[in-house]
Structure 1
Amino acid sequence: MTRRRGDIKSFFCIATGRAVLPDTPSDLAGFVAWAQESHILGQVAAVVTAEVGSKLNDILENARLRSSYDRRMLTFETNRVRRALMGADIQPILLKGSAYVAEHLLAGIGRRVSDIDILVPEEHLKETEKLLGQAGWRAEESTAGAYDQQYYRRWMHELPPLRHETRRTLIDVHHRLLPRTSRIRPDHLKLMADARLVESSDLMVFSPTDRFIHSAIHIFGDGAFETPARSFIELFYLYSDLTGAEKRSLMPRAKDVGAETPVREALWMLGEYFDVQAEGGKAPWLLKWCIRTVTDGQGGLVYLANALLYVRSHYMRMPLPLLAGHLWKKVLRRV
């Protein structure tokens, strides 16, 4: 099914509570299908109500239950991380979903989550891994092999994923924001220096401005846009939470930390799909075409656009010789 640009913009309005549900069965079905395939039904359910007893109400209630479970899991596991590191001279910074939930942000309401992300100084990596291991987090099976372990530790911005041996929850321990080989080199130390404590906790989070910048870095400087609607709604909520002064300081701060390009692209997206008037937003024409194609419809061109975004994400992460060698090893492992 191919959608018109107006359909998608209206869908984003509905999904963020700024417009009512479609009034025709076909349009309503189209919206619900889009929300399901975009993995945002929990966020939709947080801002949309339906007639009690209706099929839509059942769908939304189920989404609320699932996202509520995720929220409780994330809160519990974040507390387990805090307890595992208690007594050590380590103050982890919560990233992404765990930060949004801890700070009670709009971006965390109804959000589906599958793992916990924390950021620690690189010099604390070994101790952090040891303490988490003592608390039950071990190397995740899919990356427990010698090649993956070596690759992560040499080139990536995080340790290999750790999975709890009994609860099966996953934690990603970051020491920077993008891989060491990334073409974009944001200054993670400057962002870490301005982190602040979560209220009534010894865990930390980025400042509101830096939280938006990190999300832009993750989505536009590293990701392949597997779930663009989910990512774009996250950025919309994070931007909406900023004060006027914080919005004005956004581009200067992005330039200061070396994240100007992904922030400009994120601001372009906010204007494209949410009609946010933000100064400085712009993106290359090919990236615009890929995002519009992937977001607006389905079919042959979507496969091409997704392929280009996938190639772009790897191109942004590492030099071509390293990428070629890495992909070749991955292919050989599957043969």
Structure 2
Amino acid sequence: MGGSPVGHLLGVLRNAGHVSAMGLADWDVTVRLARQARVLGMLGHRLRDDDAVWASIPERVRSHFQASINTAAYREQWMLMELRSLAQALPPDLPVTVLKGAAYVLQDLPLGRGRMPNDVDLLVSRGDLEAAEGALKAAGWQSGVLDPYDERYYREWSHELPPLRYPGHPLEVDLHHTIAPVTSRTRADDERLFASLQSIPDSRFLALGPQDQVLHAAIHLFQDSELLGELRGVVDMDALVRQHLVTEADWEALLEHAQWHQASRVLWYALHFCRGWLGTPVPDDLPLAPPPPLARKAMDWIVPRSCLPRIPDTRPTLGQRVAATAGLVRYHWLRMPPGLLARHLLHKSWVAVKPMGGARAT
């Protein structure tokens, strides 16, 4: 993809030394794409870590990175304040796990730097879900008003409750009881998931085990998303692999956990695109079965056209529009069995047209 608009962004994400091949016009496109992909602050931290690389970047470009780094630091403080409030509100004897960005920051992982959090993701066991939700609502967190169908969808078929927000706080709280929708093709083994949790030093919160953290990133990207604009998920996956998978035993444990959570297929896709785009160090002889050739060919066409960012003020191409639609269809197909999916789509279609019918009647 070196000749495409996103080529320089992938190049510098892959190797900071790529900046030596970039002129101001390249930087103009790359900064805009990195901002669109929500990786500008993360990339800025990586480049700033190398004094020679940072000094070689034009000052006017460095200012964009520095502004994003500063904004991300501010929003990180939002998240830390929210976590402190949550720690006070939740029962002290209730085990609570932080997921994704909150975990990366509390664990002081490199990929936690420069993120722009919009929410805080928590995980409790299904048996503790009612107690956790009750404690948060008693302390002032509120969920939005949902119709009975959506309320049932969250509580019976999803892996999380409706989002909660404390009045005046900038971040939502998503309370999960597992890491994949309970009706999806991927079914996490919750007993093993919770048995692998690890403590976080100087925190009342827990974190997923290293292998499960990698798998959660893969599940979120290739099972529980529409793929649209998800380059940051690939960047996260790359960083987690480099952080957690160092020895042959680490990789063996990852494959074992993937089998537990029925996530081998999504793991294959995640590693495939990580290695292709970012040079992620994946063993060549990894015993992970590839998808059928037709499925692989389809994903090789869909994912780049959906996942990679485009300049915001340009119109998507026909291929990008088709790929976005295919990603949406795939997301729903993997998320629910056919009967439930048909019911869900019929309900949403009815809700979408009902206000129009009411408006015409008046």
Question: Could you tell me the TM-score, scaled by structure 1's length?
Answer: 0.91
Deviates more, 1:92-101 or 1:320-329: 320-329
Contact 2:143 2:165 in 1 (8 A): yes
- Counterparts of 1:94 and 1:16, CA distance in 2: 28
Letter paired with 1:44:
L
The Cα offsets for residues 146-191 of structure 1, whole Å up to 9 and x where unpaired, read as 3321221121111111111231421111111222211121213211
**Pairing of 1:1-335 with structure 2 (within 5 A):** 4=2, 8=6, 10-15=8-13, 18-21=16-19, 22-49=21-48, 54-87=59-92, 89-141=93-145, 144-242=146-244, 243-244=246-247, 245-278=249-282, 279-280=286-287, 282-283=290-291, 284-295=296-307, 298-335=316-353
Provide the rounded CA distance (Å) in 2 between the counterparts of 1:140 and 1:261.
Answer: 35
State the shift of 1:9 in Å. Answer: 5.4
Which residue identity does 1:303 align to in structure 2? R
CA offset at residue 230 of structure 1? Answer: 0.6
Cα-Cα RMSD: 2.2
Structure 2 residues not aligned, in runs of 5+: 49-53, 311-315, 354-362
Label 1:305 to 1:332 Cα distance change in 2 as closer, same or farther (>3 A).
same
Aligned equivalents of 1:249, 1:8: Cα separation in 2: 34
Which runs of 5 or more structure 1 residues have no equivalent in the other structure? none
Q: CA separation in 2, counterparts of 1:174 and 1:107? A: 22
Q: Distance in 2 between matches of 1:266 and 1:280?
A: 15
Distance in structure 2 (CA, Å) of the matches to 1:223 and 1:250 = 22
Paired with 1:210 and 1:154, the residues of 2 have a C-alpha distance of 24
Write the letter of the residue equivalent to 2:267. Answer: V
Report if the CA contact (8 A) 2:13-2:278 is conserved: no
* Distance in 2, Cα, partners of 1:158 & 1:194: 20
Q: Distance in 1 between matches of 2:182 and 2:322?
A: 28
Q: Say how many residue pairs are matched.
A: 330
Q: Match of 1:15, as an amino acid?
A: L
Letter in 2 for 1:330: K
3-state DSSP of counterpart to 1:111: coil
- Asked if 1 retains the 8 angstrom alpha-carbon contact of 2:14 and 2:278, the reply is no
Once the two structures are TM-superposed, the CA of residue 277 in structure 1 deviates from its matched residue by 4.1
| 2:159–2:179 contact (8 Å) kept in structure 1 | yes
Which region of structure 1 is more displaced relative to structure 2, 175-184 or 276-285? 276-285
Check conservation: 1:38, 1:230, Cα contact below 8 A.
yes
**Structure-2 separation of matches of 1:178 and 1:48:** 34
SS in structure 2 at match of 1:227:
coil
Shift of 1:249: 2.5
